[in-house]
A and B are shown apart, each in its own frame.
Chain A
């Protein structure tokens, strides 16, 4: 392709089956819409903007969906497109998906992320605050604002820092949960556990953290990992399932050495 865009194409004609649900109590259903002349250069969400503009003109209520940054970093967008969380492209959030990925005459199914722990609030919008509660349970380093030691006082091997950064890139979108047949949150939790366990700053609370986060994860109603790895395939940031393995090791290690209150007093 050369510098300019193809100005001759007349755009894509699409049939959309979109999940409509008035509120959390409503059971919801698919509605079908036709869209014409969609430029292949626009993004998937811009295609939905155009659908909404059309619905509004026709006096029908627009489709609600979550979005904000539209560049794959805030983790707001959350659609299941033709059965796949964040659509067909690898390591691509819904908002980064472009219509050139689709062909003229195509039928597209658009649904919200579905999981017991992510209740739908309206149409394609769901509530992912369960993730926040998992972080609140232990996904942090307890370092209150103050005058900590100089940032370079504690060198961190570059390899550890890079691995920690790989895990820290998680955008908290929840696609891993939506893609998992068991609606497990292991990739999300594993990524945060790994990020902090790999750094010296995370050591003091290392065991407490993983136990608390896993406990909260179970409380929120996420499922168990069945080693199917759909999560990694759907993840827009390419978070590796190695993080799940690391979390399991961390958890096992922490469980073995943790002292349940009031017990394990007698020494060996």
Chain B
């Protein structure tokens, strides 16, 4: 560590008192901005997924002046559009015993006790309003014949609390938020800037006052000044190259903010989804998720014998290992995501995987079809079967599906307090980009809930404390800070363009992804993490010496865009490994091989690791370094227990 940083104040600003009254109390104590004054404050929103679109629309409705940067040609294309399964809420419409407290409890437990109780309770509390709001916007959720909303159980939850719109819940929720946003654009309350990629945060006197962005069509580097900046730029799962995330999803916005002083919370917490279509060749560009609901009827198995290459119909039942049913007699195929993923990896590692490269397991519907008939199965999963067949050319009615885990979601992200404010005053972080509510593992259908909670209900209440509580002088884009930050951005673009090496950024990215997948993926060990560190550092060095980007910065240049993102992933990868290394316990999606029970289950260490690891960037370039600070987690409402699914 090259410098001795001043320790930032890690004040979570969580209210005290009974957990159910904290959000109310906090809102009451927050300073309000006079309605007539709101239009004087300019909010800059980066990213138009659920978090960004809902925040931008809601703040404009309140009267703030809002500008929005969108990486696509249209805000409707943001990554949230791809979410399939559904969104949770504590409505208890099915009368099956759900409540705000139960959703809160399930989320804290599901996150393996590594999230703040105050935040999670608030999330559960506002969940019901989200559904009401979306219905009011015309979101066409699934309904029953009586015309009321339909619910389903998702991801092994004991209650049916998931609202859905066929297999396109994310799409419909995002279109609702997008339409609300476009309404404000039409009214002249929001200035929309499409095809803009944010490349740095500008701070004045330590407060976030704008960003530098690149217009992706002409390449123009632009300055945007504001009184508050909201990063709603999504997760960083694409550090692994192959993930279920969209191709443009990246970490640059939060990484640049991190390097300007925003602490990064729990970077190693990654969720790996067990049911994805396996990698089929070296050309593979992304992975496709198959809904988790398939595990309700499909049975997971591999051949008992190593290297058994017979086609699945030639393998009799006695020679199949339905390993989830064997190891977990009570939960069987419905064990949580992290467990199902890890066990699949174990099978593949033991040489019992299936498919060309042995990196897959079977998900078999033979018995379900035998029991219920093909038409009933088609009714439930027809569109998923079709999607599978389109990609693999295999017919799941006849041949078992081949599935394998894939990176899906990142629980880590920029550290934020209860107001969603990062350690840079005036810089707020919403949605998957922050670290806040899911602890070490996210429950199915809870990311959409969190993105919309942050955007529709939390930030409209908390942003006022920034405007009303601080003296914000007028700052324009002529300020010196904009000049120097823009110069830094330009220098970096020039550097990427001038290396003149041989390898493409995709090529580097693929290699980085493999290192991360092998050593910082489903299972992590001291030795593997050490190896990863060495490899990442060497690869990063090679990147800066052998990258090839053609063309110029003054045009639409996709290779230049990608290169910038990969450069940031190269650094973030190192931080993820460091975080995984310091956390010598297993919790949620983070499995340290050194910390497991005799049966191979994750073993938490509450005595030593019941904290958020918040990383501060302390050194640059060859001296790239960080210092970790701890935010202790306390549990007053939920008792810490070890999960068991046997």
Contact B77 A68 (CB under 8 A): yes
Contact with A along B288-327 (1 / 0, CB 8 A): 1000000000000000000001011100000000000000
Bound-state Cα–Cα, A68 to B178, Å: 17
Contact B74 A143 (CB under 8 A): no
A1/B136 contact (C-beta < 8 A), A73-B171, A140-B179, A142-B183 known: no
Contact B147 A156 (CB under 8 A): yes
B504 contacts which chain A residues (CB < 8 A)?
Answer: 53, 56
* Partner pick for A136 among B146, B186, B548, CB 8 A cutoff: B186
Task: Kindly specify which of B102-110, B527-535, B549-557 makes contact with the partner chain.
Answer: B549-557
B280 on the A face (CB < 8 A): yes
B232 on the A face (CB < 8 A): no
User: B37 CB to closest chain A CB, in angstroms?
Assistant: 19
A138 contacts which chain B residues (CB < 8 A)?
Answer: 186
User: B210 CB to closest chain A CB, in angstroms?
Assistant: 24
Contact A2 B281 (CB under 8 A): no
A: contact size bracket? 35 or more
User: A59 CB to closest chain B CB, in angstroms?
Assistant: 7
Contact B136 A56 (CB under 8 A): no
Contact A5 B140 (CB under 8 A): no
Task: Kindly specify which of B127-135, B220-228, B483-491 makes contact with the partner chain.
Answer: B127-135
A23 on the B face (CB < 8 A): yes
A164 contacts which chain B residues (CB < 8 A)?
Answer: 138, 140
A155/B147 contact (C-beta < 8 A), A132-B74, A201-B135, A201-B138 known: yes
A68/B246 contact (C-beta < 8 A), A140-B137, A201-B138 known: yes
**Most-contacted residue by chain A among B82, B185, B283 (CB, 10 A):** B283
Contact with B along A16-55 (1 / 0, CB 8 A): 0000001100000000000000010111011101100100
Q: How many A-B residue pairs have CB under 8 A?
A: 242
A12 on the B face (CB < 8 A): no
User: A161 CB to closest chain B CB, in angstroms?
Assistant: 4
B355 on the A face (CB < 8 A): yes
A161 contacts which chain B residues (CB < 8 A)?
Answer: 140-143, 147
Contact A22 B555 (CB under 8 A): yes
Contact A150 B132 (CB under 8 A): yes
A208 contacts which chain B residues (CB < 8 A)?
Answer: none
A246 on the B face (CB < 8 A): no
Q: Which residues of B, 67-104, contact A by the 8 Å Cβ criterion?
A: 72-79, 81-82, 91, 93
**Most-contacted residue by chain B among A42, A122, A125, A145 (CB, 10 A):** A145
Bound-state Cα–Cα, A164 to B138, Å: 9
Bound-state Cα–Cα, A121 to B387, Å: 32
Bound-state Cα–Cα, A2 to B531, Å: 38
Contact A41 B556 (CB under 8 A): no
A168 contacts which chain B residues (CB < 8 A)?
Answer: 140, 165, 172, 175
Bound-state Cα–Cα, A156 to B548, Å: 56
A3 on the B face (CB < 8 A): yes
Contact B555 A122 (CB under 8 A): yes
Contact B283 A129 (CB under 8 A): no
* Partner pick for B456 among A43, A67, A132, A145, CB 8 A cutoff: A145
User: A98 CB to closest chain B CB, in angstroms?
Assistant: 7
Contact A49 B556 (CB under 8 A): no
A66 on the B face (CB < 8 A): yes
Task: Kindly specify which of B200-208, B388-396, B586-594, B619-627 makes contact with the partner chain.
Answer: B388-396
Contact B551 A61 (CB under 8 A): yes
Bound-state Cα–Cα, A131 to B192, Å: 14
Nearest B residue to A38 via CB reads B283
**Most-contacted residue by chain A among B144, B179, B400, B507 (CB, 10 A):** B179
A252 on the B face (CB < 8 A): no
**Most-contacted residue by chain A among B137, B217, B507, B555 (CB, 10 A):** B137
B334 on the A face (CB < 8 A): no
Bound-state Cα–Cα, A64 to B281, Å: 23
Contact B168 A73 (CB under 8 A): yes
Contact A122 B138 (CB under 8 A): no
B78 contacts which chain A residues (CB < 8 A)?
Answer: 74
User: B162 CB to closest chain A CB, in angstroms?
Assistant: 14
Bound-state Cα–Cα, A152 to B136, Å: 10
Bound-state Cα–Cα, A67 to B392, Å: 21
Q: Which residues of A, 146-205, contact B by the 8 Å Cβ criterion?
A: 146-152, 154-158, 161, 164-165, 168-169, 171-172, 195-196, 199, 201-202
B411 on the A face (CB < 8 A): no
B182 contacts which chain A residues (CB < 8 A)?
Answer: 132, 135-136, 139-140
A264 on the B face (CB < 8 A): no
**Most-contacted residue by chain A among B78, B135, B145 (CB, 10 A):** B135
B402 on the A face (CB < 8 A): yes
A218 on the B face (CB < 8 A): no
* Partner pick for A60 among B81, B354, B362, B550, CB 8 A cutoff: B550
A61 contacts which chain B residues (CB < 8 A)?
Answer: 550-551
B248 on the A face (CB < 8 A): yes
Bound-state Cα–Cα, A169 to B394, Å: 26
Contact B137 A74 (CB under 8 A): no
A62 on the B face (CB < 8 A): yes
B148 on the A face (CB < 8 A): yes
Contact A144 B61 (CB under 8 A): yes
**Most-contacted residue by chain A among B93, B147, B166, B284 (CB, 10 A):** B147
* Partner pick for B77 among A74, A143, A165, A196, CB 8 A cutoff: A74
A4 on the B face (CB < 8 A): yes
Nearest A residue to B93 via CB reads A152
B76 contacts which chain A residues (CB < 8 A)?
Answer: 75, 132, 172
* Partner pick for A68 among B133, B248, B355, B559, CB 8 A cutoff: B248
Nearest A residue to B555 via CB reads A23
Contact B179 A64 (CB under 8 A): no
B138 contacts which chain A residues (CB < 8 A)?
Answer: 141, 143, 164, 195-196, 199, 201-202
A76 on the B face (CB < 8 A): yes
User: B403 CB to closest chain A CB, in angstroms?
Assistant: 12
Contact with B along A59-99 (1 / 0, CB 8 A): 11110101111110111100000000000000010001010
* Partner pick for A156 among B143, B394, B559, CB 8 A cutoff: B143
Contact with A along B161-197 (1 / 0, CB 8 A): 0000110100110010011101101100000101000
Across the A-B interface, give the 10 residue pairs with the lowest CB-CB distance, nearest first.
A155-B147, A136-B186, A140-B179, A148-B136, A2-B311, A143-B136, A151-B135, A145-B58, A165-B140, A122-B556
Of the A-B pairs whose beta carbons lie under 8 Å apart in the complex, a sample of 14, sorted by A's number, is A2-B312, A5-B280, A22-B555, A67-B247, A76-B72, A96-B391, A121-B217, A135-B179, A145-B180, A146-B133, A168-B172, A169-B168, A199-B140, A201-B135
